[in-house]
Amino acid sequence: MDFDIVPGRLSVPSLSALAAFEAAARHGSFTRAAEELNLTQGAVSRQVAHLEKVLGVGLFQRVRQRVSLTPAGSAYAAEIRDGLSRLAAATVSAMAFRGAAGVLHLAILPTFGTRWLIPRLSRFIEAHPGITINFTTKLVPFDFAREQVDAAIHFGDPVWAGARLHRLMGEEIIPVAAPSLVARLGLAEPADMLRAPLLQQSTRPRAWANWLEQQGLPPERALMGPRFEQFAMVSQAAVAGLGLAIVPRFLVEEELRLGALVIPVDRPVTGSEGYYLVYPEAKAGLPAVIAFRDWLLGECGA
């Protein structure tokens, strides 16, 4: 195994050598790496040894029949694993173009995806049967350059470096609770809310404070209550009677319709933040991105 020299580009080891090293690093064993790659243990050992010679650093410590990563090996393995994952994803995406219009790798907010987007997605599939959408979840902004993502659904302000944003919708925030909790605590006025546990959503730490302040109430208890990572968990905790939730109305329409949740005080609040479709400038011309953008904006009436 030698480095492939390409004029004007950095030299990189062969993929077979990198795959052998990554598998050995992941398993902590040349034997198990060999079994995974359908090679002999000796072949994996030679690949790794030659890689170490070319790099000029030790990647493994060898003690009797066991191997463990050196600090350099541990750092290199993390980078190589990420690179091989990117190559695999790029290969799958390229293969998906066979007889199709392409693939869209979309990052979504979990509850927005399950409650709003996915129930409407059949209309997009019907209009664009050749486009495959692969979903992942992201709760906070990220670097498109470091993720295998073409576009994302973002909530917040229209700020994302190096990307285009299209506003989809705003939201009404309302307090909701199980009917049994409302009856037991006698929740009828804004001030009554302070008698109940206030369920928290980790990405919206000021949600309760904003609502209380707009009702002219002190926000001191705004952060006092169990914390959940997703709106779906918050709403289910409210259904179970664990406390009051403060959520976007459109995310709990089904629970309100079924009576699993009620609005004890119907005083919604709105803000300047909203839901956005966001994608990097480099992906703006992708047919799948354009098709999804146009469809989504039409669904939102934007």
pLDDT at 113: 94
Whether residues 136 and 118 share a domain: the answer is: yes
Amino acid symbol at 15? L
Whether residues 285 and 238 share a domain: the answer is: no
53 in a domain, yes or no? yes
259 in a domain, yes or no? yes
pLDDT in tens, 1-13: 444 434 444 567 8
Whether residues 190 and 222 share a domain: the answer is: yes
265 in a domain, yes or no? yes
Q: Give the end of a domain, one of 57, 73, 95.
A: 95
Looking at residue 45, which CATH number applies to its domain?
1.10.10.10
The stretch 138-149 carries a mean pLDDT of 89
Q: How many domains does the chain have?
A: 3
pLDDT at 81: 87
* Residue span of the structural domain in which 197 resides: 171-272
3 in a domain, yes or no? no
pLDDT in tens, 68-108: 899 998 999 988 888 887 777 677 656 555 544 588 999 99
Whether residues 254 and 191 share a domain: the answer is: yes
Whether residues 184 and 264 share a domain: the answer is: yes
Whether residues 166 and 285 share a domain: the answer is: yes
2 in a domain, yes or no? no
10 in a domain, yes or no? no
Query: Mean pLDDT score of the chain, rounded to an integer?
Result: 89
In sequence order, which residues have a C-beta less than 8 Å from that of residue 49 and are 6 or more positions away?
none
pLDDT in tens, 212-244: 999 999 998 898 899 998 899 999 999 999 999
6 in a domain, yes or no? no
The stretch 253-281 carries a mean pLDDT of 95
